[in-house]
Amino acid sequence: MKTIESLGDLKGKRVLVRSDFNVPLDADKNITDDGRIQAALPTLRTLLDAGAKVVVVAHLGRPKGEVNPDYSLAPVATRLAEVAGVSVTLAEDTVGESAKAAVAAMGEGEIVLLENVRFNAAETSKDDAEREAFAAELAALADVFVSDGFGVVHRKQASVYDVAKILPSAAGLLVLKEIESLGRAITDPERPYTVVLGGSKVSDKLGVIANLLSKADRLIVGGGMAYTFLVAQGHEVGTSLLEADQVETVKGYIATAKDNGVELLLPVDTVVAPYFGADAPATVVASSAIPADQMGLDIGPQTRTIFADAIADSKTVVWNGPVGVFEFEAFAEGTKAVAKAISESDAFSVIGGGDSAAAVRTLGFDESTFSHISTGGGASLELLEGKVLPGIAVLEG
């Protein structure tokens, strides 16, 4: 894969950088987790130190191709200036007069952040010609392109894919680190190799499960998706989250795991409540005896121990998805136990972005105790599925 070094001397050159600044905001537009901004700094500093004029293109939320002030990158510009220690100019548009003027006025070692690229419908258009035309407008603002938004490399979008075909292009340091870390866990894992899957839906991870049943030594399943597995085993799950249309598929996975010698660990006890809420009264029951009027919201204490022991016995651990509703204190212990076990393990560990990364930070864990925390939930899942990512493929060769 082409690296920044392959672009040659960048002094005075305009470098378009695709970053992923899709950070969570509270009601007052304050950033609640700046992990993705922090992750972008190594690439940005490398370019700034080289004397480049750095033009950053990024998205926030899903404004659906229309200008929406609720999704402005203004909070990101403020935070980026604070953590990067340089002035950051926010253009009022992406490729319009404001963007052109801001880039034209740039000096070496400065940053211009273009306004939310998803304010432009062409960015995510399924029409190749429409996307390519928009990519050409982006490319006109720069001399070279650096792809560093790992969270979007699984998308065939103008600022990710098409612009890389127009300008001399390279992968940024974050993308290289993500590919190297996830690649190590996927293609050549030290064994025992354990994958922990959580989150709400089995359907979100069907491809991952199918691929890992031929690769992993142990598959741990928690979170909302575990209840579909429990039903596939013949248990009742009360009012717990259930994808009834996936039960037969999951039965097939259970059989395949057995045939392949993959150890499948499911919750043996569950923390249930009569409704979904932070104040819901919690009770621990056996996973085989969930009452009809209760829903599972976390793994129980016995399961925490079983999962933690399995993680401690591993040399490679990949974790994608919380195993309970960690946002509610009463139902955070399971996710906390998984995070603690991984952080204390000697295994090479990859936290697969999205809610898992948020959980690690929200629950107060030292990020340095994990080998790698991915910035891309969807992208890391597709890599785990064995898919080719458009935004990576276009940088190769």
Mean pLDDT in residue range 162-183: 96
Q: Residue 353: pLDDT above 80?
A: no
Q: Output Rg (C-alpha) for the chain, integer angstroms.
A: 22
Q: Is there a binding annotation on residue 260?
A: no
Q: Is residue 259 domain-resident?
A: yes
The reply, when asked if residue 327 is annotated as ligand binding, is yes
Residues 236 and 366 in one domain: yes
**111/194 same-domain check:** no
pLDDT digits (tens, 9 = 90+) for 192-204: 999 999 998 888 8
Q: 294 and 239 in one domain?
A: yes
Catalytic residue among 96, 109, 207, 378: 378
- For residues 229 and 325, membership in a common domain is answered with yes
Does some domain include residue 391? no
Instruction: Establish if 397 belongs to a structural domain.
Output: no
Beta carbons of 53 and 103 less than 8 angstroms apart: yes
Spot the catalytic one: 354, 376, 377, 391.
354
199 lies in the same domain as 238? yes
Question: Is the pTM for the entire model greater than 0.85?
Answer: yes
**Cα 54 to Cα 10: distance, rounded to the nearest angstrom:** 10
| DSSP annotation of 64 | T
Q: Are strands 348-351 and 372-373 parallel, antiparallel or unpaired?
A: parallel
Residue 222 inside a domain? The answer is yes
Q: Does 71 share its domain with 205?
A: no
Judge if 270 and 185 occupy the same domain: yes
Q: What confidence category does residue 377 fall into, taking pLDDT thresholds of 50, 70 and 90?
A: confident
Q: Is 36 a catalytic residue?
A: yes
pLDDT digits (tens, 9 = 90+) for 229-266: 999 999 999 999 999 999 999 999 999 999 999 999 99
State the CATH number of the domain containing residue 142. 3.40.50.1260
At residue 30, what is the residue type? N
Is residue 155 marked as binding?
yes
pLDDT in tens, 271-315: 999 999 999 999 999 999 999 999 999 999 999 999 999 999 999
How many alpha carbons fall within 13 Å on the CB side of residue 332?
Answer: 18
| Number of domains the chain contains | 2
Report whether 289 contacts 314 (CB < 8 A).
Answer: no
**Residue 201 annotated to the active site:** yes
Please identify, among 173, 196, 217, the residue that sits at the C-terminal boundary of a domain.
Answer: 173
354 is in an annotated binding site: yes
For 326, other C-beta atoms within 10 Å of its C-beta total 25
CA distance 143 to 166: 10
Do residues 326 and 191 share a domain? yes
Q: What is the DSSP string of 225-253?
A: THHHHHHHTT---TTS---GGGHHHHHHH
Catalytic residue among 45, 100, 156, 201: 201
CA distance 321 to 334: 12
Residues 167 and 196 in one domain: no
Q: Which of 18, 36, 53, 218 is catalytic?
A: 36
Q: In b/e form, how buried is each residue of 180-202, taking b as 16+ CB within 10 angstroms?
A: ebbebbbeebeebbbbbbbbbeb
Pairwise CA distance, residues 158 & 156, whole Å? 7
Given 173, 207, 238, the domain boundary residue is 173
Task: Report whether 397 belongs to an annotated binding site.
Answer: no
Q: Which pLDDT score, from 0 to 100, does residue 386 have? A: 85
Check the annotation: does 355 bind a ligand. Answer: yes
| Residue 147 shares a structural domain with residue 257 | no
Distance, CA of 306 to CA of 302 (rounded, Å): 6
Regarding whether 186 and 56 lie in a shared domain, the answer is no
Is 21 annotated to bind ligand?
Answer: yes
Same domain, 152 and 244: no
Annotated binding-site residue? 154: no
Site of tokens 């809420």: 277
User: What are the tens digits of pLDDT across the range 321-350?
Assistant: 999 999 999 999 999 999 999 999 999 999
pLDDT class of 357 with cuts at 50, 70, 90: confident
Q: How many CB atoms lie within 10 A of CB 88?
A: 20
Q: Is 100 a catalytic residue?
A: no
Q: Which amino acid is at 256?
A: T
59 is in an annotated binding site: yes
Mean pLDDT of the chain: 95
Using CA atoms, how far apart are residues 258 and 232, in angstroms rounded to an integer? 14
Domain limits for position 146 = 4-173
